[in-house]
Amino acid sequence: MEYPFYATFSSPFESFTIVWIRRGSEQKVQRIFLSDAKLNSEVKALESFKQIKLASSSLITSLGEKMQQFFKGEKVEFDLELVDFNRCLEVQKRVLLAEYGIPRGYISTYKRIATHIGIINGARVVGNALARNPFPIVIPCHRAIKTNGELGGYQGGIKMKRKLLEMEGIEISEKGKVITTRFYY
């Protein structure tokens, strides 16, 4: 049986926690938890996984450090090799891969993403898949917004989503609507 491990890292948004497993010589990320106003990331991890153990790993530490750079506004490329998509339904995997394809400094809408991956009237399907994104930041779900320009939801809270978008050069009005022509898909 595979027992999950976890490591928690600091960020300007409290903390984030990476949960992973070892499969032979491979390590695969199972979840990334972001802290929010209600719970910190480590508590979320401990509540979500049974028999989880605190551990370190050079691959996971490297991923954590890349995420910390990202949170500081640096341009970072994440590799999907570490991500375990086996935990995702096929439609969610399609949504996550489309979201991963949105470049830094661009946004898309739930509707545009749905159309791109061939789900007619699928904005809600996309929104639900992103709401349960097991790999936030690595899969940049903060880059998806509502068709009307509103931010929509985010696992780390709306303040975090807004700040992440602003760090990428996306302007947001005082009323909370995105002001940009940099749409993807």
Determine how β-strand 178-179 pairs with β-strand 171-172.
antiparallel
Return all residues near 185 (Cβ < 8 A) that are at least 6 apart: 98, 102, 108, 112, 113, 115, 116
The full set of domain ranges for the chain reads 5-82, 89-179
Q: Where are the beta strands (DSSP E) in the chain?
A: 5-11, 14-23, 26-34, 53-54, 108-109, 144-145, 171-172, 178-179
Instruction: Reply yes or no on whether 141 is catalytic.
Output: yes
Tell me the pTM.
0.94
Give the sign of the dihedral formed by CA 88, CA 98, CA 120, CA 154.
positive
The per-residue pLDDT for range 165-178, each reduced to its tens digit, is 999 999 999 999 99
pLDDT at 1: 57
Residue from 125, 141, 160, 170 carrying the catalytic annotation: 141
* Structural class in CATH, domain 89-179: mainly alpha
Question: Which tops the pLDDT comparison, 37 or 44?
Answer: 44
pLDDT at 4: 96
Q: With contact defined as beta carbons under 8 Å apart, do 32 and 18 qualify?
A: yes
Q: With contact defined as beta carbons under 8 Å apart, do 5 and 19 qualify?
A: yes
- Residue 130 tokens read as 């992103």
Q: What is the mean pLDDT of residues 140-151?
A: 96
CA 126 to chain centre: 14
Question: Which tops the pLDDT comparison, 118 or 50?
Answer: 118
Give the sign of the dihedral formed by CA 163, CA 164, CA 166, CA 170.
negative
